[in-house]
Amino acid sequence: MVLEILKWIFIGIQVVLFTYLFLTTIYFLIFSVAGLFPIKEALPKNKKLNRFAVLIPGYKEDSVIIDVARQALEQDYPREQYDIIIIADSFSPSTLAELRKLPIQVMEVVFENSSKAKALKEAVKRLTGNYDIALILDADNIMERDCLGKMNNAMNLGYKAIQVHRTAKNQNTAFAVLDTVSEEINNQIFRKGHWVLGLSSALIGSGMAFDYALFKDYITNMDFILGEEKELEMRMIKDQIKIAYVNDAIVYDEKVQKSNVFMVQRARWLATQFIFARLYFLPGIKELFTKGNIDFLDKVIQQLLPPRIFLLGFLILLTALSWLLNPILYTWAWLALTIICILTLMFSTPGRFYNWTTFKAIFLLPKGFFMMLLSLTRIYQAKKKWDHTVHGVEN
């Protein structure tokens, strides 16, 4: 009798889990397939050359910031139409001295508890120039030479917020390869796929540009330690400001190279996701029924989705567990869902990653899944303290 009850409890849990994971997988599949289609965008009629404030906040980024500043000056865009502003938090005196030799602005900031949002807020408070667009880069980001020109064209189409295509600048370790593929999958699903279907792109945290006055207004009223890009995303879409995706404007970003950094970074991301799921779940439903804001509800749904490595790992585990404990029907259901998930990830992975290097990196997926599980134990700590990712070294 007890075993029979336990059996039905287990089956009930499976039904709930299967429903959630099925809906999650279908969500990913829809946008993954959509991302296979090209983005069709009209050419801007307005030939205005907007003036950019290129904001690069950095915390103890001495190893990369000088090279990043130099390369940011090499855009195929009129030099008088953009300023590079380094927001320097806890840089060494020698780094500051080298930066000040360049034709850029160096803005020193000091906070008791540092965060990217605080740095950006302080920057717009101090800046006095007349700017049209605020572009946010991380301290390790390198733009392709035509990046500002392509962002300018997109903004001239009338968009107030855009996210460009951020991709990896390093694939020097197996973990860096996995991180690279993960970002490209996210680009396909949450940015390109959404934009093709008429929904807003997700923001990443860098390689994002905004109407300057709009950005200043939003960032001034932000107080979060974590997830400044998520707060911007949620607030703008709640206000029905569409976030465009510019796939051919490229920003290169350094990928994590070791498992310990991967775990710290993912804990921060999961903490951010939990915070915004809690804050915006009910407002998302309200916005749908009162204003028909599907875009906003979609962003709320994204906060309820598990990371892809969690999804795949749990599907494989549940398939194996079902095979051991359940009738064959349940096993086939889990196996079919696992196969759909794998196909979805394959659709979302660009063809250039179908090579031997990626194949070898796949063998690290079980370790990545385990590190993601460990990252759950760090969520509380991540909520309380901003923990930046160190760049420029094999960390």
CATH of the domain at 167: 3.90.550.10
Query: Phi and psi at residue 250, in whole multiples of 5°?
Result: -110, 130
Q: CA 126 to CA 355: how far, in whole Å?
A: 48
Q: CA 295 to CA 387: how far, in whole Å?
A: 30
Q: Is residue 303 part of a domain?
A: no
Number of alpha carbons in the 13 Å side-chain half-sphere of residue 183: 23
Of the pLDDT bands very low, low, confident and very high (cuts 50, 70, 90), residue 392 is: low
CA 370 to chain centre: 21
| Structural domain count of the chain | 1
Q: Is residue 163 part of a domain?
A: yes
pLDDT, tens digit, for every residue of 296-336?
A: 999 999 999 988 888 898 899 888 887 877 666 678 888 99
Asked whether residue 134 carries a pLDDT value surpassing 90, the answer given is yes
Q: Is residue 169 part of a domain?
A: yes
> Of the given ranges (41-45, 48-52, 232-236), which has the lowest mean pLDDT?
41-45
pLDDT at 391: 55
Q: Is residue 58 part of a domain?
A: yes
pLDDT at 395: 45
Asked whether residue 346 carries a pLDDT value surpassing 70, the answer given is yes
Q: Is residue 372 part of a domain?
A: no
pLDDT, tens digit, for every residue of 23-46?
A: 999 999 999 999 999 988 776 777
Q: Which domain holds residue 157?
A: 52-270
pLDDT, tens digit, for every residue of 79-103?
A: 999 999 999 998 999 999 999 999 9
Whats the size of the chain, residue-wise? 395
Q: Is residue 168 part of a domain?
A: yes
Q: Is residue 34 part of a domain?
A: no
Number of alpha carbons in the 13 Å side-chain half-sphere of residue 110: 1
Q: CA 129 to CA 178: how far, in whole Å?
A: 41
User: Could you tell me if 69 and 104 are in contact, meaning their C-beta atoms sit under 8 angstroms apart?
Assistant: yes
Q: CA 367 to CA 369: how far, in whole Å?
A: 5
Task: Name the residue with higher pLDDT: 395 or 270.
Answer: 270
Q: CA 376 to CA 109: how far, in whole Å?
A: 32
Mean pLDDT of 335-361: 90
Average pLDDT for the chain: 86
Q: CA 328 to CA 331: how far, in whole Å?
A: 5
pLDDT, tens digit, for every residue of 277-301?
A: 888 888 888 988 999 999 999 999 9
**Long-range Cβ contacts of 290-298 (<8 Å, 24+ apart):** 291/240, 293/237, 293/238, 293/240, 294/199, 295/199, 295/200, 295/237, 295/240, 295/242, 296/234, 296/237, 296/238, 296/240, 298/194, 298/199, 298/200
Q: CA 107 to CA 124: how far, in whole Å?
A: 11
Q: Is residue 374 part of a domain?
A: no
Contacts of 177 (CB under 8 A, 6+ apart): 171, 357, 358, 361
pLDDT at 39: 87
User: Could you tell me if 55 and 123 are in contact, meaning their C-beta atoms sit under 8 angstroms apart?
Assistant: yes
Q: Between the CA of residue 292 and those of 228, 287, 289, 354, what are the distances in Å?
A: 25, 6, 6, 41
**E-assigned strands of the chain?**
52-59, 82-89, 105-109, 133-136, 142-143, 161-168, 208-211, 243-253
